[in-house]
């Protein structure tokens, strides 16, 4: 499948963020790196799903936000794919050796934490036995791929951010949760890749 790239992300990018990107990168030291994993798997009914998390209320800039399993690069990681696999295992309990990485998608800049995040798409053939890391993950949210394909999940909401006040932003509503910001931008690219092929 062709990669929609940044144009695909723009569908879920709020206006203020488009103007913020280049300025934020130029005004700071070089961003650090992190990686996340969009993990597909079959549920117990044979339905294709992917895993998301709601982050814990740790008072950080991303507290209680919906996200993919992932985190910052460790010195022990061989590459960014290894970071995504390790973090997925740590946060939701899926063994890294049971996951196959399919491909990276377009990186996303995260303004409040000053990170480049490299997303990956992966899958596991077995239905996972999830186990959340209680200090970082408040809830593991299993999302059917069919739900992501519905146009009715897209809306515009006013969201309070830690770095830009209250903003109006496009959102996805998945399993009763609003997904916005960088994670929605990543999902937009995944959605655009998959939707014409199903």
Domain 6-190, CATH among 3.30.2350.10, 3.40.50.920, 3.30.200.20, 3.90.79.10: 3.90.79.10
Instruction: Give the pLDDT band (50/70/90) at residue 90.
Output: very high
User: What would the pLDDT profile of 98-119 be if each residue is shown by its tens digit?
Assistant: 999 999 999 998 887 888 999 9
Find tokens 């460790």 and name the residue: 74
Instruction: Give the pLDDT band (50/70/90) at residue 3.
Output: confident
User: What would the pLDDT profile of 17-75 be if each residue is shown by its tens digit?
Assistant: 666 666 556 666 888 999 999 999 999 999 999 999 998 876 555 567 899 999 999 99
Residue 191, both tokens: 């959605």
Rounded alpha-carbon distances, angstroms, from residue 15 to 11, 37, 113, 181: 10, 26, 19, 11
User: What would the pLDDT profile of 133-163 be if each residue is shown by its tens digit?
Assistant: 999 999 999 999 999 999 999 999 988 776 6
User: What would the pLDDT profile of 168-188 be if each residue is shown by its tens digit?
Assistant: 889 999 999 999 989 999 999
Q: How much is the pLDDT for 61?
A: 54
Domain coordinates in residue numbering, the chain: 6-190
Question: What does pLDDT average to over the chain?
Answer: 89
């Amino acid at each position: 499948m062709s990669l929609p790239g940044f144009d695909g992300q723009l569908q879920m990018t709020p206006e203020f963020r488009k103007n913020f990107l280049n300025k934020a990168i130029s005004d700071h030291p070089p961003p650090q790196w992190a990686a996340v994993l969009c993990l597909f798997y079959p549920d117990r009914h044979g339905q294709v799903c992917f895993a998301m998390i709601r982050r814990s209320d740790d008072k950080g800039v991303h507290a209680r936000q919906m996200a993919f399993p992932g985190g910052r690069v460790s010195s022990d990681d061989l590459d960014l794919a290894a970071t995504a696999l390790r973090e997925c295992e740590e946060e939701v309990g899926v063994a890294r050796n049971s996951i196959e990485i399919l491909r990276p998608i377009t990186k996303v800049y995260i303004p409040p934490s000053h990170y480049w995040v490299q997303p990956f798409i992966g899958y596991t053939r077995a239905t996972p036995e999830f186990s959340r890391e209680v200090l970082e993950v408040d809830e593991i949210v299993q999302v059917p791929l069919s739900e992501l394909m519905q146009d009715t999940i897209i809306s515009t909401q006013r969201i309070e951010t830690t770095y830009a006040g209250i903003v109006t932003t496009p959102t996805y509503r998945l399993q009763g949760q609003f997904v916005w910001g960088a994670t929605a931008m990543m999902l937009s690219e995944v959605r655009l890749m998959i939707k014409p092929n199903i």
